[in-house]
Structure 1
Amino acid sequence: MIMHIGGKSLRLVSRLAIALLVFGTLGQAASQAQEGPTKVAVEGIFPPFNYLDSNNTLQGFDVEIANALCDEAQLHCEFVPQDWDGMIPNLLAGKYDTIISSMSMSAERKEKVRFTARYYDGPSVFIVQKSSPLKRMQAGDLAGKKLGVTSSTAQASFANDHYSGAERIVYPSSPDLYKALEAKEVDVILEDKLAIYDWLTNTKAGSCCEFRGEDIKDPKYFGEGAGIAVRPDDTDLLQRLDQALQKIQTDGTYDRINAKYFPFSIR
């Protein structure tokens, strides 16, 4: 059967279709507006992953990855600077929705939050003054030496358990840790290799020092790389971030960001 529609009827159908399209678009926009901003916690003092530039604007690998994920997941994101010690407690308290700040997925943290798939991986490593006589980094080699670590990090936990014979000195942030090594306040520090790479290669202060010993990878302490943390019950946001992460890793976005900060892949 062929149905013939008159001119007036056709115009009416067209208007109804347009109206439905407009209301559907407005409804989607309203839904997104009601959703509100997704607040992203970033430390801001961990170059090249996250730091404040001369205009006090957050920059770095983590920040660009976060922006790419938010664009892909169609989330309106706002960054929230947060000191490291308060990262997980304030996530659980609802002060923000996710942490995209080079957080290693350790077993201890997995008991408190949920993580996306890994978005980068890097070993931990010892760093010393170039003139240091230390060669190996076994527990006996560091007995009685001053070993610096950053507070509330996987490196601090690893040092406490494996280097009890060393005098472990804890600093509040990575920049403080690096300054201590430069000033010879400590004999050696333990740090994320990718995090300190920029300081060693791109700063005058970092020219004092170098990697020493073998890379350290221990899933018990350092997890399986860095992940994006959300509250345990926020399954929708976790799924959206995971899907967005997979997309930017396949369409070239991730690799373009990676190349801006490192001459090698950190996946």
Structure 2
Amino acid sequence: MRAWIGKALAMAGLAALAGCALVLLGRPLGAAAQEAPVPRPRPAETAPDVVIPSYWDPRRRSERVDLTRVPQIRFLTEDNYPPFNFAGADGQPVGFNVDIARALCEELRVPCTIQVRRWDTLLESLDRNAGDAIIAAQAITPDIRRRYEISDRYLETPARFVMRKDTALTDATPEALAGRSIAVVSGTAHEAYIQAFFKGSAIRRYPTLAEARKALSERDVDTLFGDGITHAFWLNGQASGDCCRFLGQAFTENRYFGEGLAIVMRRGNDPLRLAINHALQRLWERGVYADLYLKAFPVGIY
């Protein structure tokens, strides 16, 4: 199975900001910056450092949906991108995206199927009506918005700084890191961001994430900047040797890190888009989204 880290943001391709879009996992990133998501109140059992994001306005009233025009939903996904979507012990698809899809169908009370396809065939399968909606960690891009109906965003992939636990740093601002060294993976959106906004820091470029992490662990650099999700799993796994921790806040500027993830549908399918957006907000309001988020991401990424 392809490791999900290999498909993560830290391995994003880089293009010049002038005249062309940054590329993430082969998917162009958006162009407008945005603020970090508003934290939702945590359940009592949630670890204190886990912030549950919210992408829904509690003041917004969901439009009434005509479910007679949504008799069923045929979701398309892949099974090679944990923790978002992957094959379970019995071979059936599981993961955050799959859980969201099933919860949406339960909320809407419509029958639901989940079909597994290769990542590179998902859009083609949708185009030829082999399914109704793609839920496979699909990044929102200008091209995707132009060609398809897009649901509300249901997850961002923030960038984060990591430092050694014994490093005397308390903030991750350009001023706080002036004169400090920052490790990044060459040719990534994270490198571009540091180069643009942390001009007073010494940028240390590495060909792979493993080499950048090694440099941090061996004190060759002060900090490491990259994908918050991959960092979170590394920090809380055995591979890190409990060496490090997050520094400062999450960075979510979509000009560099994308607009987030959404469900993709064929152009003109307004009834399905409205139904899915209504159900997404209801899942958040009822706390179902928080439960599914914690199941997939038990360590903090924000």
Q: What are the superposed Cα offsets for residues 207-244 of structure 1, whole Å, 9 maximum, x if unpaired?
A: 45543464212133445543222233332322221222
Could you say which residue in structure 1 is the equivalent of 2:238? 204
Aligned ranges for residues 80-229 of structure 1 at < 5 Å? 80-83=116-119, 86=120, 89-90=123-124, 93-94=127-128, 96-107=131-142, 109-127=144-162, 147=185, 156-157=188-189, 159-160=191-192, 163=195, 167=205, 169=207, 188=224, 190-191=226-227, 193-194=228-229, 196-201=231-236, 203-206=237-240, 207-212=242-247, 214-229=249-264
Cα displacement (A) at 1:204? 0.9
1:125/1:214 contact within 8 Å kept = yes
1:160/1:168 contact within 8 Å kept = no
Could you say which residue in structure 2 is the equivalent of 1:41? 77
| Aligned equivalents of 1:162, 1:88: Cα separation in 2 | 33
| Aligned equivalents of 1:181, 1:99: Cα separation in 2 | 34
Structure 2: stretches of 5+ with no match in the other structure? 1-69, 197-202
Could you say which residue in structure 2 is the equivalent of 1:65? 100
What letter is aligned with 1:117?
A: D
TM-score by length of 2: 0.52
Matched, 1:243 2:243: no
2:111 to 58, 75, 79: 75
1:142/1:166 contact within 8 Å kept = no
Check 1:217–1:98 CA distance in 2 against 1; reply closer, same or farther (3 A cut): same
Check 1:77–1:238 CA distance in 2 against 1; reply closer, same or farther (3 A cut): same
Q: Secondary structure at the match of 2:264?
A: strand
Structure 1: stretches of 5+ with no match in the other structure? 1-30, 150-155, 171-176
**Structure showing greater relative contact order (alpha-carbon pairs closer than 8 Å, 6 or more residues apart):** 2
The alignment's C-alpha RMSD in Å is: 4.6
Cα displacement (A) at 1:68? 0.6
More helix by share: 1
Could you say which residue in structure 2 is the equivalent of 1:233? 268
Residues matched between the structures, number: 218
Q: Secondary structure at the match of 1:227?
A: coil
What letter is aligned with 1:147?
A: V
Q: Which moved more, 1:249-258 or 1:90-99?
A: 90-99
Q: Secondary structure at the match of 2:134?
A: strand
2:232/2:300 contact within 8 Å kept = no
Q: Secondary structure at the match of 2:135?
A: strand
What letter is aligned with 1:98?
A: A
Could you say which residue in structure 1 is the equivalent of 2:287? 252
1:107/1:220 contact within 8 Å kept = no
| Aligned equivalents of 1:92, 1:59: Cα separation in 2 | 20
| Aligned equivalents of 1:71, 1:129: Cα separation in 2 | 44
1:87/1:99 contact within 8 Å kept = no
| Aligned equivalents of 2:194, 2:124: Cα separation in 1 | 30
Q: What are the superposed Cα offsets for residues 159-216 of structure 1, whole Å, 9 maximum, x if unpaired?
A: 457649875747xxxxxx5x5655669984621x245423422x21144554346421
What letter is aligned with 1:204?
A: Q
| Aligned equivalents of 2:180, 2:98: Cα separation in 1 | 36
1:91/1:230 contact within 8 Å kept = no
Check 1:163–1:111 CA distance in 2 against 1; reply closer, same or farther (3 A cut): farther
Check 1:238–1:213 CA distance in 2 against 1; reply closer, same or farther (3 A cut): same
Could you say which residue in structure 1 is the equivalent of 2:8? none
What letter is aligned with 1:40?
A: L
| Aligned equivalents of 1:131, 1:57: Cα separation in 2 | 43
| Aligned equivalents of 2:255, 2:207: Cα separation in 1 | 22
